[in-house]
Structure 1
Amino acid sequence: MTQLILLCRQGFEAETAAEIQDIASQAGCFGYCKTQTDQGYVSFFAEDHQLKQLIEHVNFRQLIFVRQWLICGEAIELDSTDRVSSILQGLEGTPHCGEVELIHADTNEAKELSRLCKSLTGPLAATLRKKNKLSAKRNHKIPRLMIFFIDGQHAHVGYHFTNNACKWPDGILHLKFPKDAPSRSTLKLEEAWHWFIPKRQWGERLSAGMRAVDLGAAPGGWTWQLVKRSMMVDAVDNGPMKGDLMETGQVTHHEEDGFKFSPSKKVHWMVCDMAESPIKVAERMAHWVVNEWCRETVFNLKLPMKKRYQEVRQCLDLIEQKCKDADINVEISAKHLYHDREEITCHVRRLY
């Protein structure tokens, strides 16, 4: 039977399964999941025509815990002496594609496959082009062929549509930690810019001179990102700010409780990475948006140990309802980013 493989963070297989079951049922696609704890992916089984309809009509960007997806059949066995030929034999049912990517799950065991994937990519692509199974040049307008390695002897051969999938083949954006940043949490906000805001809009929506507020700012990882975008920042936290942020002249430190702070004037950005219950954070974020204190906000929701997908849905639905009650039009999105751990990152933007 045809299946949809959904890559996720190791340990979040249950949340990914709950999410795809929910999304699929809403789309009229009825199937079931097979998964295993800590394997870094989930398999969703349904009828072939339903799965194709699902990946064509469900917006990938609305998925929270899914890093990447591909539609495929059962795993094929690979000849360790000629894996390219084994993959060629497993192409039945896949469309003509514009590029090929070899990927694996994000687990310690699967990471050992990285070298194999890199070494096979060139020879496989060349062979596929000779066999007319791949376009002569990389083409992002037609499906992308995906080879998902389970181990060195087994792989799934599948595809997805590049305009409805993650642009990073394995769903991971690798960022380099800036040496002068106060904490590694800075990477969470940097990744959020890449995920939630199209690069062509950075000049407009992340422009120099904007005013921003960072709630729960200490030690300054998220404030650092705002300062690097040449924004003026109100950093709110009872704890101390680290690094050279205060010497830039762009930061005003308010030693206050982030849940009680209100800005003296409207700002473009409010960001928040406070370790509080998800529903409490969601209520405060909605308060900021409804009161027009900010135009856009990026914030993290720290997740409980159980029923994490349900908790996320409750928080996002609360924000949506409060904005609806206030007759405010917003865009709301959320993602379990690569640099997140037991949390998800959310983005809310007022539409005028």
Structure 2
Amino acid sequence: MSTSGHALLLYCRAGFENECLAEASHLAHQAGLSGHGRIQPDAGFLRFQLQDALPWDEVARRLPWQDWVFPRQRIVLVARVDHLPAEDRVKPILDAVKQRGIKAGRVWFETADTNEAKELSSFLRSFAPHLERAFDKTGVMSKKPGAPTLHLFFEDSGSVEIGLSPADDAADWPMGIPRLRMPRAAPSRSTLKLAEAFLSLMTEREREASLRPGLRACDLGAAPGGWTLQLAERGLRVYAIDNGPIADSVLETGLVEHIRADGFTWRPPHKLDWMVCDMVEQPARVAALIGDWVASGRCRRSIFNLKLPMKKRFDEVQRCREILAGRLADTGQPWVLRMRHLYHDREEITAYLGPAA
């Protein structure tokens, strides 16, 4: 690894390495940094080498987690250890961590999310406890509030990348993958997209304020009702808008009114707290719809999916940002827009739009 500056390690869905590189280049330029990366197709991760010699936490501060869309996690690399001896892999890693004075609140053993990398899972399950005990004995682990997360990224059992992320400015799960339970009443796995969006795109304060029993919402393009169920299970009353059928398990919550209508033309009878939308349509058209709903006051908050084209995905995301910003500028109010390629997304990204705190 070059000594000119730290590198970023970005985990992503395999096949989205180009989008991670485009975004890393864009955000680095915005932050006054320079860097480069090399694509390994379908690797499930990207290394982006920065030329600027800055402390790791300053790199993280200039490239905050909430600004990223395509990575599942953003890590600042601080060391790499190669040629780990099979008879004692613990000592070289421990030495590298101690030499850099790292004090971590937690340690995560990680790989890329690919079929090839999954073969390392059994090795890590047996190896991790030995290194964790060594960290505990030598004072690497810290109980100090705000201590960073230590990431150990293995491409194979003989080498490891060592990185850090701020405790309060990164994805909350190893490899950026939340472990969510499928609701028993859910009619489709798409329900997990909205569940993940609530956790990934909103703060705890925002969730407490807006996902409360008695609030009102609508789900545009609701059938068969996976997103509607997520709202109803939190006690919200929901208009499910779709010409297609809604699953009986969703209607049986007693909080859902199914209205057979086109999600692009239906309008609510009164102002709503939420509008969610997972319609299959051109992303620019969906962005314009969401912007119109929020700017006109029909809803206060929205979570929505943008189905991306096969090419120029990053450019399309930027285009949708501009559409939303242009429409919301007319309101004169501050808004928060967060976008993420979630673990449960495929060829789409999910976005949250709501009032700034």
**Common fold, TM-score beyond 0.5?**
yes
1:78-227 to structure 2, matched below 5 A, reads: 78-91=84-97, 92-93=99-100, 95-135=102-142, 138-227=143-232
1:13 pairs with 2:17: yes
Matches of 2:349 and 2:125, distance apart in 1:
30
Alignment deviations for residues 135-166 of structure 1 (CA, whole Å, 9 cap, x no partner): 3xx44512222110011222112222222221
Moved more, 89-98 or 171-180: 89-98
CA contact (8 A) 1:100 1:145 kept: yes
Change (3 A) 1:83 1:62: same
Matches of 1:66 and 1:152, distance apart in 2:
24
Moved more, 145-154 or 290-299: 145-154
Displacement after TM superposition at 1:255 (Å):
1.1
User: In structure 1, what is the equivalent of residue 299 of structure 2?
Assistant: 294
CA contact (8 A) 1:172 1:338 kept: yes
Displacement after TM superposition at 1:57 (Å):
2.7
Displacement after TM superposition at 1:254 (Å):
1.4
CA contact (8 A) 1:77 1:155 kept: no
Alignment deviations for residues 34-87 of structure 1 (CA, whole Å, 9 cap, x no partner): 221110100011236247332133211111111112222345222222211231
SS at match of 2:228: helix
Alignment deviations for residues 178-199 of structure 1 (CA, whole Å, 9 cap, x no partner): 2321111000011111112233
SS at match of 1:133: coil
Displacement after TM superposition at 1:19 (Å):
0.5
Match of 1:341 among 326, 340, 346: 346
Matches of 1:51 and 1:38, distance apart in 2:
30
Matches of 1:163 and 1:247, distance apart in 2:
39
Change (3 A) 1:10 1:251: same
User: In structure 2, what is the equivalent of residue 314 of structure 1?
Assistant: 319
CA contact (8 A) 2:80 2:159 kept: no
SS at match of 2:53: helix
Amino acid aligned to 1:21: S
Change (3 A) 1:139 1:104: farther
User: In structure 2, what is the equivalent of residue 26 of structure 1?
Assistant: 30
Matches of 2:279 and 2:191, distance apart in 1:
14
Matches of 1:14 and 1:189, distance apart in 2:
26
Change (3 A) 1:94 1:33: farther
CA contact (8 A) 1:192 1:345 kept: yes
User: In structure 2, what is the equivalent of residue 76 of structure 1?
Assistant: 82
Matches of 1:93 and 1:34, distance apart in 2:
26
Matches of 2:199 and 2:329, distance apart in 1:
27
Q: Which runs of 5+ in 1 are unaligned?
A: none
Displacement after TM superposition at 1:4 (Å):
1.4
Displacement after TM superposition at 1:272 (Å):
0.2
1:45 pairs with 2:49: yes
SS at match of 2:126: helix
Change (3 A) 1:328 1:117: same
Matches of 1:75 and 1:216, distance apart in 2:
50
Moved more, 275-284 or 61-70: 61-70
SS at match of 1:296: strand
Moved more, 290-299 or 52-61: 52-61
Change (3 A) 1:201 1:315: closer
SS at match of 1:233: strand
Matches of 1:26 and 1:217, distance apart in 2:
38
Matches of 1:313 and 1:201, distance apart in 2:
25
Q: Which runs of 5+ in 2 are unaligned?
A: none
Q: Say what the alpha-carbon RMSD is for the aligned residues.
A: 1.8
For normalisation by structure 2, the TM-score amounts to: 0.93
* Count of residues in Structure 1 that have an aligned counterpart in Structure 2: 350
Matches of 1:98 and 1:253, distance apart in 2:
47
Amino acid aligned to 1:191: E
Matches of 1:347 and 1:198, distance apart in 2:
11
Amino acid aligned to 2:35: G
Change (3 A) 1:226 1:211: same
Displacement after TM superposition at 1:243 (Å):
2.7
Matches of 1:106 and 1:129, distance apart in 2:
28
